[in-house]
Structure 1
C-alpha cells in the first residue's frame, strides 16, 4: 500500500511550479521529511528522482531539517546514478557544505566522515559522464572544500584543466570562474 507521500510523488512532474507545490506540502508536513530523504536514496523506487527534486526545494527553506539525517544522506551519495537524481542532490551537497563553513549556530554541522563522503561524491561526479549541472555544482562544492583541505584545489585544477576542452560553454564558465579563484 503506497504511503501518503508516495501518492503525492506520483503526481509530481518536472514543471517547476509542480515541484514547488510538492515541496510546500512537505514544508507544511515536516513528519514526511524522513520518508522523503529515504526515497531519495532508494534508486529502485519509481519516485526516487521526484523525491530528489522536492528535497532540493525543501533544502532551500529548511536545510537544518537534514541535520539528523546527515550520516544517512552523506553515506548514500554513492548509490545515486540517475541523472535526474544527481543534479538536485549535488545542489543539496553544495548547500550543506556552504552552511557547514558559515560556523554560526544556525548552520549544518557535518562530521569529518560526512565531509569525506561529500568530497568523494563530488570528485566522482566530476570525473564521470554526468550532465554539466551536476559537474558545475561539484566544482563549486570542491572549491569551497579546497579552502579547508589543501590537497583539493590542486586536484580540482588538474581535472578541470584536463577536461576543459571537451565540455560545454556552461562547464567552461564555471571552470573559468573557479580556476580564477584558485590561482
Structure 2
C-alpha cells in the first residue's frame, strides 16, 4: 500500500518548478520529512531519485530538519548508486559541511563519524564516474573539510591535477578555483 508521500512522488518531474512545488508540500507538512529521508536512502524504491530531488530543495529552507537524521543520512551515503540520487545528495552534504563550520546558533552539528562518512563519500564521488555537478559539489565539500583536516588538501590537489585535462570546462572551472585557494 502506497503512502501519501509515495503517491505525491509519483507526480514529481525533473522540472524545477515541479520539484519546488513538492518541496513546498514537505515544508508545509514536516511530518512527512522522516519518510522522505527513508525513501532517499532506499535505492530499490522507484521514487528514490525524486525524493532526493525534493530533499535538496527542502534543505535550502530547513537544513536543520536533518539534524536528528544525520547518523542515518551520513552512514548511508555510500549505498547510493543512481546519478539522479547522488547529485542532489552531494549538494546536501555540501550544505551540511558549510553549516557545520559556520559555528553559529543555527548551524548543523556533525559528529566525527558523520564527517568521516562525508569525506569518504565525497572522495568516492570525485574519483568515480559520475557527472560533473556531483564532482563539483564534492570538490567544494572537500575543500572546506581540508581547512580542518590537514591531509585532505594535498590529496584533493593530486586528484584535481591528475584529472584536470580529462574533464569538461565546468569541472576545470571548479578545479581551478579550488586549486588556487589551496596553493
TM-score by length of 1: 1.00
- C-alpha RMSD of matched pairs (Å): 0.3
**CA distance in structure 2 between the aligned counterparts of 1:59 and 1:133, rounded to whole angstroms:** 17
SS in 2 for 1:149: coil
- Quick one: distance in 1 between partners of 2:104 and 2:177? 27
Alignment of 1:83-98 (within 5 A): 83-98=83-98
1:61 and 2:61 matched: yes
Structure 1 residue 104: deviation in Å? 1.0
Aligned to 1:18: 18
**What is the CA distance between 1:164 and its match in structure 2?**
0.5
Match of 1:178 in 2: 178
Partner of 1:151: 151
The superposition leaves residues 40-85 of structure 1 with CA deviations (integer Å, 9 ceiling, x where unpaired) of: 0000000000000000000000000000000000000000010100
Which stretches of structure 1, 4 residues or more, deviate above 2 A after TM superposition? none
Q: Which residue of 2 aligns with 1:101?
A: 101
Post-superposition offset of 1:132:
0.3
Between the aligned partners of 2:122 and 2:9, the Cα distance in structure 1 is: 27
3-state SS, counterpart of residue 143 of structure 1: helix
Question: Where does the alignment leave 5 or more consecutive residues of structure 1 unmatched?
Answer: none
Query: Number of matched residues?
Result: 183
For 2:164 and 2:71, the matched residues in 1 are separated by 33
Please name the residue that 2:47 is paired with. 47
For residues 81 and 127 of structure 1, the distance between their equivalents in structure 2, rounded to whole angstroms, comes to 14
